[in-house]
Each structure stands twice: as C-alpha cells, then as structure tokens.
C-alpha cells in the first residue's frame, strides 16, 4: 500500500488556504483528509489548518478507531470538535468572521472503508482504473441540479457554483455525510475543487493510471491543473491499495 499527498497555491491565489494530510496510526489504519479553507486573506488557511491539525492529532492519539460503528462515531466526534475550534476562533477574532473550510476524509482499515465530507472537496474510489465519486457536493448549484432547476451542463459554468450550503466552522454545529464503501477497490483519491475545476475525471484517470510513482502522479496532476489556469489552490491525497 502506497499513499501520499500534495498541495499547491496554484497560479492565481497569492497564498494557499488548503490543508491536506495522510496518516497511519499504531494499528496500521490510514486516514486521509483534504480541507479547502475560505474567508479571504489568511483566514481560510487558519480554518483548514485547525481542522487538519486537530483531526490528525486525535487520529494518531487513538491506538485504533475500533469497529465500523466505533469509527463512525469517532469521525463524527473529531469533526465536531474541529468545527467548534474554528467557530470559537472566529468569535475570539472578529476580523475572521465568515471563516470556514470544506473537509473530505477517507478512513481505511483492513475491515472497512469510510468516507465523509462537508462542502465541495471530493472523495473518489478507483476501480477498474476508473474514478467513482463517493461524496456529494454541498453547494447551491448541486441542490438546484437535484431539484431539476439546473442541468449538469448548466451547473458546470454557473456563476454561483462555488456557493456552499455547508462548511466547517460556519455554525456551532455541523452536519456531515458519512459513506460506508466497499473495500474491493484499487485506490482512493481525495482533492479540493481547485483540481476538479481544472481537470475532468478522464484527465485525472489517465494520470493515475500512468507508470509513475504516487508522488509523481500528484505532481503531474498539479502541473496539469496549473497549465490549465490554476485558478485556485490545488490539493490532493492519493492511495494505491494494491501497492506494497
């Protein structure tokens, strides 16, 4: 099993508001997470950093996440804690009002695979060399697509496509989606929308299926995203399940 992660400010933004990690705990369980901060200036960077640092600390501090039900409760707890930390920060620093972050995570153990998300960062599995999106974007545009008010094509370039309906730190409590996923997969791929807004699934698949190392594939995806404009920060975490 091989995994890695990478983040890049892109070509337009003057700083990086994304945070990303991939960790293995004492039991060999793996947690991957991508957070795309928002709020302008340094505030988004603070929000995503608070979330990733807290989640990573709690995960490494647990010898094991336990069985599937225990793990689901654990994920809800650590995300709720991170949400409160961000929310309290904004109350103590009024200039940061409106600060928040998206969050997508994947937790892999020998027995199960869980995904969870808040916002519009994406979580995929790789099966038969193809990407399958697991998470659902919590955006206004996605809500309009589901209600039939917009088509998928109209949504792609909609002027309000980045308006989030959920974000970590926006309120004292937060609602998170959790997905129980089959473990019969080839890999896991998480990324911020800075990557998916620049590259479609097929373009990502071609890189992930190439004869490169995990790290080289991530570098190539970021290079391609930047070559197509790099209009946002770009972050990704990638795991090959079948590796050594």
Q: 47 CB contacts (<8 Å, ≥6 apart)? A: 17, 35, 37, 38, 39, 86, 89, 99, 100, 101, 168, 169
Helix (H, G, I), strand (E, B) or coil at 108: strand
Predicted local distance difference test score (pLDDT) of residue 111: 96
Bridge-partner residues for 160, per DSSP?
A: none
pLDDT value at residue 159: 66
Write the CB contacts of 152 (distance below 8 Å, at least 6 apart in sequence). Answer: 145
pLDDT at site 157:
72
pLDDT for residue 43: 86
- Going residue by residue through the chain (244 aa), what tens digit of pLDDT does each one get? 999 999 999 999 989 999 999 999 999 999 999 999 998 656 899 999 999 999 999 999 999 999 999 999 999 999 999 999 999 999 999 888 889 999 999 999 999 999 999 999 999 999 999 999 999 998 888 788 778 787 777 777 776 777 888 999 989 999 999 999 999 999 999 999 999 999 999 999 999 999 999 999 999 999 999 999 999 999 999 999 974 3
> What span, in angstroms and rounded, lies between the C-alpha atoms of 18 and 33?
11
Q: Domains in the chain and their CATH numbers?
A: 2-136+166-240 (3.60.40.10)
Per-residue pLDDT, 243: 47
Q: What number of residues does the chain have?
A: 244
d(CA 104, CA 115): 7
* Confidence at residue 244, expressed as pLDDT on a 0 to 100 scale: 39
Chain centroid to Cα 83, Å, comes to 15
Provide the H-helix boundaries in 96-186. 140-146, 152-156
Question: In angstroms, how far is CA 56 from the centroid of its own chain?
Answer: 14
């Amino acid at each position: 099993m091989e995994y890695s992660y990478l983040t890049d400010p892109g070509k337009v933004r003057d700083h990086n508001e994304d945070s990303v990690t991939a960790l293995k705990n004492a039991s060999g369980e793996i947690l991957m997470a991508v957070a795309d901060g928002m709020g302008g200036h340094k505030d988004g960077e603070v929000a995503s950093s608070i979330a990733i640092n807290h989640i990573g600390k709690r995960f490494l501090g647990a010898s094991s996440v336990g069985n599937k039900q225990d793990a689901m409760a654990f994920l809800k707890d650590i995300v709720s804690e991170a949400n409160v930390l961000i929310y309290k920060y904004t109350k103590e620093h009024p200039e940061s009002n409106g600060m928040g972050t998206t969050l997508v995570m994947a937790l892999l153990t020998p027995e199960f695979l869980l995904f969870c998300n808040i916002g519009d960062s994406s979580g995929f599995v790789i099966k038969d060399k193809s990407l399958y999106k697991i998470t659902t974007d919590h955006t206004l545009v996605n809500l309009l697509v589901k209600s039939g008010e917009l088509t998928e094509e109209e949504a792609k370039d909609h002027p309000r496509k980045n308006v989030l309906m959920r974000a970590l730190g926006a309120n004292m409590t937060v609602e998170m989606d959790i997905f129980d996923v089959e473990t019969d997969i080839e890999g896991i791929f998480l990324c911020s929308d800075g990557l998916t807004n620049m590259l479609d699934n097929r373009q990502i698949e071609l890189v992930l299926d190439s004869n490169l190392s995990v790290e080289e594939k991530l570098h190539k995806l970021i290079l391609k995203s930047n070559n197509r404009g790099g209009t946002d920060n770009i972050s990704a975490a990638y795991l090959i399940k079948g590796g050594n």
